[in-house]
């Protein structure tokens, strides 16, 4: 483990751990501002994957041989580390998934089918990613439950007074994003949980954009479910975590059937395995799962006070510089905001900007960011989104601004 | 001019541009030309929706040749569309159906046709061929 806790956060030192950041694109140094889509990986994570396949690749949880025991041990150690990372009460509350989307589908199907009845209500918000809309829509349609939407204010914050009005005795679950992937808005999770508790509704928080920007304590937040993807927090793709309170996870039925999730199987009756394996049917993504340990080492080795300071400096600088550009409008200016900027141009399509600044080495995301209802709410087809990570620098923001100005000139 | 000759002509034009910037400036200038489709035809039924940009396409048959008009909300997409129309316009349905659009690759714009780019261009080529197929069936059935 990196013994850097409390030590100075030096961005140049951190950058050295990420080999991809040395790349050039079209002869220009890569400026990677698409961290909202996925973050880059430190060398340690990359090596852990190769080390697993080179030295102890085997299936877990069932082999008696040495390799299987080593792999099982490594995989289960990661579960314990995620328990500590989230401050969960028990490792039974940590379910490995394929990602945030996989986690939400699990909750919607398992919890949804068990808890929801005709006429019950599920509350989501206007700023949700499609993966926190569609699974709920599907389950509501199946069961005759009703989806209620919390509107978003002009500055990109949740309309909390509208939320309060939506809550009622029919509300069974509230599923809201922690940090909006399109706007950067950090939602008031504690307040959402407290209000939901008053009427007995359960709460799921989509943490896909949060875990790379802040430390999350599930007991402090008191959420019932929390989901996220490891690839957005410097780890490998294809692994996610679903945190769920143990009593709820115990109560609700399994989602998928198969190996690993059973205790006994006969054609007459199958009994299910205990937590957490009840929700982990089939061979999981072992290699990437094990490599998560290195991502956690990286994150936990950072001085988070200084990371916050660095990220908010980046955001403030980028916001200030972007605002100087004629015809550019930032979408989403919540008071509590994570380090990303979404913006549109008067008379210029986001796609055109994205294509041209890529030629200048700058990677951003353009389009609707899988939040079409939110785009509709702001009356735009899509935005350009520059999402920052802790390894980004002010000099890179300068390169973004320069690229935008040049692209604008070409298009104007 | 045959489809092949038209494509070779474009490839030759693009060979002059050494730097990506000049290439894109040319595409942007093509895109900035007057709207290629009548406003009245910018209907939802003519809309090919990509994830990134929208494309409208209309096709009319005249003297057994197809005439395409199209538009997009993104200028770069529009510029590439105008190149496609230059290659496929005013041809018989069978010529369009059997066409092989290799020029996009040769002028270094293949990335714009990747299905993941979702800018509507892949769907547009498909749609152009669908129109050709539909008109050919119509001609064959007299």
Question: Within this chain, do residues A252 and A133 fall inside the same structural domain, yes or no?
Answer: yes
Map tokens 């956060």 to a residue. A9
Q: pLDDT tens for chain A, 412 residues: list them.
A: 444 455 689 999 999 999 999 999 989 999 999 999 999 999 999 999 999 999 999 999 988 899 999 999 999 999 999 999 999 999 999 999 999 999 999 999 999 989 999 999 999 999 999 999 999 999 999 999 999 999 999 999 999 999 999 999 999 999 999 999 999 999 999 999 999 999 999 999 999 999 999 999 999 999 999 999 999 999 999 999 999 999 999 999 999 998 888 889 999 998 999 999 999 999 999 999 999 999 999 999 999 999 999 999 999 999 999 999 999 999 999 999 999 999 999 999 999 999 999 999 999 999 999 999 999 999 998 999 999 999 999 999 999 999 999 999 999 8
CATH number, domain at A27?
3.90.1150.10
Tell me if A39 is assigned to some domain: no
CATH number, domain at A243?
3.40.640.10
Question: Within this chain, do residues A121 and A133 fall inside the same structural domain, yes or no?
Answer: yes
Q: For an interface test with B, which of A355, A356, A365 has the most B Cβ atoms less than 10 Å from its Cβ?
A: A355
- Chain B contact set for A351 (CB, 8 A): 52-53, 74, 76-77, 119
Q: For residue B114, what pLDDT is reported?
A: 65
Tell me how far apart the alpha carbons of residues B59 and B41 are, in angstroms, rounded to a whole number: 10
Tell me how far apart the alpha carbons of residues A350 and A3 are, in angstroms, rounded to a whole number: 42
Q: Which of A280, A300, A320 is the last residue of a domain?
A: A300
Encoded tokens for A35: 């961290």
In the set A370, A389, A390, A397, the catalytic residue is: A370
Who among B21, B24, B77 is closest to A351 (CB)?
A: B77
Residue A174: strand pairing partners: A123, A203
- Chain A contact set for B74 (CB, 8 A): 349, 351-352
**B24/chain A closest Cα distance in angstroms:** 8
Question: Which residue on chain A is closest to B31 by alpha carbon?
Answer: A411
pLDDT tens for each residue of A61-81: 988 899 999 999 999 999 999
Please report which confidence band the pLDDT of residue B105 belongs to, taking 50, 70 and 90 as the band edges.
Answer: confident
| Whether A366 contacts chain B with CB within 8 A | yes
Tell me how far apart the alpha carbons of residues A44 and A291 are, in angstroms, rounded to a whole number: 8
**B69/chain A closest Cα distance in angstroms:** 21
- Chain B contact set for A349 (CB, 8 A): 53, 73-75
Question: Within this chain, do residues A233 and A324 fall inside the same structural domain, yes or no?
Answer: no
Who among B20, B21, B119 is closest to A351 (CB)?
A: B119
Tell me if A3 is assigned to some domain: no
Question: Within this chain, do residues A170 and A56 fall inside the same structural domain, yes or no?
Answer: yes
Q: For residue A54, what pLDDT is reported?
A: 98
Q: For residue B121, what pLDDT is reported?
A: 78
**A266/chain B closest Cα distance in angstroms:** 45
| Whether A213 contacts chain B with CB within 8 A | no
Q: Which of A300, A326, A350 is the last residue of a domain?
A: A300
Who among B24, B52, B112 is closest to A356 (CB)?
A: B24
**A411/chain B closest Cα distance in angstroms:** 7
Who among B20, B24, B74 is closest to A351 (CB)?
A: B74
Q: What backbone torsions phi and psi does residue A228 show, to the nearest 5 degrees?
A: -160, 170
**A371/chain B closest Cα distance in angstroms:** 11
Map tokens 């314990």 to a residue. A80
- Chain A contact set for B54 (CB, 8 A): 381
ipTM of this predicted structure: 0.88
Q: For residue A1, what pLDDT is reported?
A: 41
Question: Within this chain, do residues A241 and A324 fall inside the same structural domain, yes or no?
Answer: no
Question: Which residue on chain B is closest to A365 by alpha carbon?
Answer: B52
Chain center to CA of B8 = 16
CB interface of A with B, residues 46-85, below 8 Å: none
The residues of B assigned a catalytic role are 51
Q: Which of A238, A267, A300 is the last residue of a domain?
A: A300
Question: Within this chain, do residues A336 and A258 fall inside the same structural domain, yes or no?
Answer: no
Question: Within this chain, do residues A293 and A314 fall inside the same structural domain, yes or no?
Answer: no
Residue count of chain A, please give it: 412
pLDDT tens for each residue of B16-45: 998 889 999 999 999 988 677 888 888 888
Q: Can you give the residue range of the structural domain that contains A314?
A: 11-32+303-411
Question: Which residue on chain B is closest to A371 by alpha carbon?
Answer: B51
Tell me how far apart the alpha carbons of residues A293 and A83 are, in angstroms, rounded to a whole number: 12
| Whether A381 contacts chain B with CB within 8 A | yes
Tell me if A199 is assigned to some domain: yes
Q: Please name each of the domains of chain B with its CATH number.
A: 3-140 (3.90.1010.10)
Question: Within this chain, do residues A246 and A329 fall inside the same structural domain, yes or no?
Answer: no
Tell me if A6 is assigned to some domain: no
**A93/chain B closest Cα distance in angstroms:** 36
Tell me how far apart the alpha carbons of residues A229 and B14 are, in angstroms, rounded to a whole number: 43
Tell me if A4 is assigned to some domain: no
| Contact indicator for A410, B25 with CB cutoff of 8 Å | yes
Q: For residue B50, what pLDDT is reported?
A: 66
Whether residue A174 has a cis bond before it, omega within 30° of 0: no
Tell me if A40 is assigned to some domain: no
Question: Within this chain, do residues A270 and A330 fall inside the same structural domain, yes or no?
Answer: no
| Whether A412 contacts chain B with CB within 8 A | no
Q: For residue B44, what pLDDT is reported?
A: 83
| Whether A26 contacts chain B with CB within 8 A | yes
Neighbour tally for A43: CB within 10 Å:
14
Q: Which residues of B touch A (CB under 8 A)?
A: 20-21, 24-25, 28, 51-54, 73-77, 112, 118-119
Is it the case that residue B106 has pLDDT exceeding 50? yes
Number of domains in chain A: 2
Tell me if A274 is assigned to some domain: yes
Tell me how far apart the alpha carbons of residues B47 and A161 are, in angstroms, rounded to a whole number: 39
Tell me if A52 is assigned to some domain: yes
User: How much helix, strand and coil, in percent to the nearest 5, is found in chain A?
Assistant: 45, 20, 40
- Chain A contact set for B119 (CB, 8 A): 351
Is it the case that residue B133 has pLDDT exceeding 90? yes
Who among B51, B76, B77 is closest to A367 (CB)?
A: B51
Question: Within this chain, do residues A284 and A144 fall inside the same structural domain, yes or no?
Answer: yes
Tell me how far apart the alpha carbons of residues A175 and A202 are, in angstroms, rounded to a whole number: 9
The pLDDT of B111-139, averaged and rounded, is 81
Q: Name residues whose C-beta falls within 8 Å of residue A139's C-beta, 6 or more positions apart in sequence.
A: A108, A109, A112, A113, A116, A122, A145
- The verdict on a CB contact (< 8 Å) between A352 and B74 is yes
Q: For residue B111, what pLDDT is reported?
A: 74
Question: Which residue on chain A is closest to B22 by alpha carbon?
Answer: A410
Question: Within this chain, do residues A331 and A200 fall inside the same structural domain, yes or no?
Answer: no
How many residue contacts between A and B have a Cβ separation below 8 Å? Answer: 40
**Per-residue three-class SS string for chain B:** CCHHHHHHHHHHHHHCCCCHHHHHHHHHHHHHCCCCCCHHHCCHHHEEECCCCEEEEEEEEECCEEEEEEEECCHHHHHHHHHHHHHHCCECHHHHHCCCCCHHHHCCCHHHHCHHHCCCHHHHHHHHHHHHHHHHHHHHCC
Question: Within this chain, do residues A131 and A15 fall inside the same structural domain, yes or no?
Answer: no
Q: For residue A5, what pLDDT is reported?
A: 52
């Amino acid at each position: 483990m990196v013994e850097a806790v409390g030590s100075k956060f030096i961005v140049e030192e951190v950058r050295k751990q990420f080999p991809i950041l040395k790349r050039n694109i079209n002869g220009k140094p890569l400026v990677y501002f698409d961290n909202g889509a996925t973050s880059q990986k430190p060398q340690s994570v990359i090596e852990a994957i190769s080390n697993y396949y080179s030295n102890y690749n085997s299936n877990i949880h069932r082999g008696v041989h040495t390799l299987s025991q080593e792999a099982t041990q490594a995989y289960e150690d990661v579960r314990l580390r995620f328990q500590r990372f989230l401050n969960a009460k028990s490792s039974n509350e940590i379910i490995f998934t394929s990602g945030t989307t996989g986690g939400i589908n699990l909750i919607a199907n398992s919890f949804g089918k068990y808890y929801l009845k005709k006429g019950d209500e599920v509350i989501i918000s206007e700023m949700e990613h499609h993966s926190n809309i569609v699974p709920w829509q599907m389950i509501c349609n199946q069961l005759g439950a009703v989806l209620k939407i919390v509107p978003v204010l002009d500055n990109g914050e949740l309309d909390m007074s509208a939320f309060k009005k939506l809550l009622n005795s029919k509300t069974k679950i509230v599923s809201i994003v922690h940090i909006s992937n399109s706007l950067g808005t950090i939602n008031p999770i504690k307040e959402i949980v407290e209000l939901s508790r008053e009427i007995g509704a359960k709460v799921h928080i989509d943490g896909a954009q949060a875990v790379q920007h802040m430390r999350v304590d599930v007991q402090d937040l008191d959420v019932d479910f929390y989901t996220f993807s490891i690839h957005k927090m410097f780890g490998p793709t294809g692994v996610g975590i679903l945190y769920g309170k143990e009593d709820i996870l115990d109560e609700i039925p399994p989602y998928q059937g198969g190996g690993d999730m059973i205790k006994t199987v006969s054609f007459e009756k199958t009994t299910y395995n205990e937590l957490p394996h009840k929700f982990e049917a089939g061979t999981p993504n072992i290699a990437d799962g094990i490599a998560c340990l290195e991502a956690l080492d990286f994150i936990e080795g950072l001085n988070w006070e200084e990371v916050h300071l660095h990220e908010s400096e980046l955001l403030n600088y980028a916001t200030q510089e972007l605002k100087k550009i004629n015809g550019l409008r930032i979408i989403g200016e919540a008071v509590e905001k994570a380090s990303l900027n979404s913006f549109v141009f008067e008379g210029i399509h986001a796609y055109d900007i994205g294509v041209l600044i890529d030629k200048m080495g700058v990677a951003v995301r353009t389009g609707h960011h899988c939040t079409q209802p939110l785009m509709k709410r702001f009356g735009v087809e899509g935005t350009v989104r520059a999402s920052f990570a802790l390894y980004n620098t002010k000099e890179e923001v300068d390169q973004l601004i320069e690229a935008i100005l040049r692209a604008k000139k070409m298009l104007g | 001019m045959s489809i092949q000759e038209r494509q070779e002509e474009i490839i030759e034009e693009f060979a002059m541009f050494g730097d990506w910037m000049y290439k894109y400036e040319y595409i942007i200038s093509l895109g900035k030309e007057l709207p290629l489709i009548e406003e009245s035809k910018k209907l939802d039924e003519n809309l090919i929706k990509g994830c990134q940009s929208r494309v409208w396409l209309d096709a009319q048959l005249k003297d057994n040749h197809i005439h395409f008009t199209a538009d997009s909300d993104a200028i770069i997409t529009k510029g590439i569309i105008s190149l496609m129309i230059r290659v496929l316009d005013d041809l018989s349905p069978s010529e369009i159906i059997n066409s092989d659009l290799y020029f996009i690759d040769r002028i270094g714009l293949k990335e714009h046709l990747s299905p993941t780019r979702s800018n509507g261009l892949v769907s547009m080529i498909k749609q152009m061929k669908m129109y050709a197929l539909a008109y050919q069936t119509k001609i064959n059935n007299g």
